[in-house]
């Protein structure tokens, strides 16, 4: 037909392949499949007890494990889909058959029934249903991701005498990590305007942690508008966290500091968080550990504060445990010694460049191992 562009079969197949793979190489596809398989195995294996009881034959133990895995899969489906899956599995293992009619002229085949085909068809129908749920969930998660991005700062604020860089990488679509730097509207400090530096990590991952992260952000922004001391601020946040922490199961570790540019002092409270690193210009390392237990565990918990004076050339490094506990394929952790070594080697860089260098080194160490926890890091350089 005139005006219609035609492609050779090879070109059509190539376009189809690119559309299916989104341009990914075979090695990337295999790495993605392996990551997905590992994630699925961890999901189902949580409900499986692989311990072999003494005296139980290997064969019986194997069938027991298979039964546990089957139930672990079935329990993730709705009752209707469980029945659909069981029927499909039964049809897959039932041999097909032929029905014949014997006459005086011999036998004639009436029809043949291939149970395998219908079993595969039911499997495909189940796949379509699950994919539909996944698409809806993915859309909702994308909306949640956009809302969470709105709660976190896109760019650091302009703080006199301070350069700031931060980054976060969720383990899933949404994260339970929080970070922020903002001017405190109403400070109890009479020496001038102050800035709050906060980083927090909600226990758990994905949607439940993200929801509690949002409540942490809201309570921090609301409570810091009143003229109270930092310890009172954290205590009030803890009491609020205890009201929705499911009896302490959903606690939050947090580091909250209040920086005064005029006096160059940082007052801080560490509520069970990874001790931030204060690297002095001389190379000396200090850890900011004073505070108390994580928020949301005990309503009447008492918190203490400490104060440090910051000088030109000092670095404040706050991070979540996803940084130092990141694992490679042989389950080795990135670790604080390597993290601190990177900070020493890049002390002359800008915060943005040093942060990129650290993240590249973290990626190099982890390789293609799956990310198990949210990763958040904040670098603050005092000039």
Instruction: Kindly report, residue by residue over 217-230, the tens digit of the pLDDT.
Output: 989 998 888 888 99
Instruction: Kindly report, residue by residue over 221-274, the tens digit of the pLDDT.
Output: 988 888 889 999 999 999 989 887 667 678 999 999 999 998 999 999 999 999
| Structural domain for 115, as ranges | 60-99+110-151
179 in the same domain as 121: no
Instruction: Kindly report, residue by residue over 120-147, the tens digit of the pLDDT.
Output: 888 888 888 888 888 777 787 777 777 7
Residue 207, domain member (yes or no): yes
- Local structure of 218: helix, strand or coil: helix
Instruction: Kindly report, residue by residue over 275-318, the tens digit of the pLDDT.
Output: 999 999 999 999 999 999 999 999 899 999 999 999 999 999 99
Close Cβ partners of 145 (under 8 Å, ≥ 6 residues apart): 170, 173, 174
329 in the same domain as 208: yes
Q: How far apart are CA 197 and CA 363, in angstroms?
A: 26
Sorting pLDDT into bands at 50, 70 and 90, what band is 370? confident
Who wins on pLDDT, 181 or 14?
181
217 in the same domain as 257: yes
Residue 305, domain member (yes or no): yes
Amino acid 265: pLDDT? 94
Close Cβ partners of 233 (under 8 Å, ≥ 6 residues apart): 223, 224, 256
316 in the same domain as 183: yes
Residue 12, domain member (yes or no): no
Residue 6, domain member (yes or no): no
* Residue 195 phi, psi dihedral angles, 5° rounding: -130, 135
pLDDT-above-70 percentage for the chain = 90
135 in the same domain as 166: no
If you average pLDDT over residues 170-176, what whole number do you get?
80
Amino acid 211: pLDDT? 84
281 in the same domain as 192: yes
Residue 4, domain member (yes or no): no
Amino acid 140: pLDDT? 74
Beta strands in 239-374, from DSSP E residues, in sequence order: 252-260, 265-271, 277-279, 285-287, 291-292, 306-309, 315-319
147 in the same domain as 163: no
Amino acid 31: pLDDT? 79
Residue 33, domain member (yes or no): no
Q: Mean of the per-residue pLDDT values for the chain? A: 85
Q: How far apart are CA 141 and CA 96, in angstroms?
A: 44
260 in the same domain as 142: no
Amino acid 377: pLDDT? 96
pLDDT of residue 319 exceeding 80, the answer is yes
If you average pLDDT over residues 372-382, what whole number do you get?
93
Residue 28, domain member (yes or no): no
Task: Please give the model's pTM, rounded to 2 decimal places.
Answer: 0.72
Domain with 234 in it: what CATH number? 3.60.40.10
164 in the same domain as 136: no
132 in the same domain as 190: no
227 in the same domain as 79: no
Residue 244, domain member (yes or no): yes
Structural domain count of the chain: 2
If you average pLDDT over residues 180-194, what whole number do you get?
71
95 in the same domain as 135: yes
């Amino acid at each position: 037909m005139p005006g219609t562009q035609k492609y050779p079969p090879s070109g059509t197949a190539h376009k189809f392949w690119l559309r299916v793979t989104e341009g990914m190489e075979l090695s990337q596809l295999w790495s993605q499949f392996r990551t997905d398989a590992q994630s699925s195995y961890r999901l189902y294996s949580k409900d499986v007890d692989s311990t072999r009881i003494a005296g139980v034959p290997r064969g019986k133990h194997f069938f027991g494990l298979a039964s546990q895995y089957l139930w672990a899969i079935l329990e993730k489906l709705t009752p209707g889909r469980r029945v659909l899956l069981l029927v499909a599995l039964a049809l897959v293992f039932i041999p097909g058959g032929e029905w014949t009619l014997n006459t005086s002229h011999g036998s004639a085949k009436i029809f043949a029934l291939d149970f395998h085909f219908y079993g595969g068809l039911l499997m495909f129908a189940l796949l379509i249903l699950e994919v539909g749920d996944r698409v809806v969930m993915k859309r909702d998660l994308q909306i949640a991701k956009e809302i969470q991005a709105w709660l976190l700062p896109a760019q650091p604020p302009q703080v006199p005498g301070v350069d700031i860089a931060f980054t976060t990488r969720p383990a899933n679509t949404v994260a339970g990590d929080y970070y922020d730097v903002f001017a405190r509207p109403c400070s109890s400090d009479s020496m001038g305007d102050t800035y709050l530096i906060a980083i927090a990590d909600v226990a758990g991952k994905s949607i439940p942690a993200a929801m509690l992260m949002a409540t942490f952000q809201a309570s921090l922004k609301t409570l810091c508008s009143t003229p109270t001391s930092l310890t009172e601020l954290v205590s009030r946040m803890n009491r609020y966290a205890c009201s929705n922490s499911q009896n302490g199961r959903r606690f939050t570790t947090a580091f909250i500091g209040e920086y005064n540019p005029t006096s160059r002092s940082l007052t801080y409270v560490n509520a069970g968080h990874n001790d931030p690193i204060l690297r002095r210009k001389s190379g000396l390392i200090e850890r900011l550990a004073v505070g108390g237990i994580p928020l949301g565990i005990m309503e009447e918990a008492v918190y203490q504060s400490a104060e440090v004076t910051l000088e030109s050339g000092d670095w404040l490094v706050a991070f979540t445990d996803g940084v130092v506990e990141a694992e490679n394929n042989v389950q080795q952790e990135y670790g604080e010694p390597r993290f601190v070594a990177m900070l020493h080697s890049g002390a002359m860089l800008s915060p943005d460049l040093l942060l990129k260098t650290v993240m590249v080194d973290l990626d190099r160490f982890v390789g293609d191992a799956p990310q198990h926890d949210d990763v958040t890091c904040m670098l603050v350089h005092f000039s």
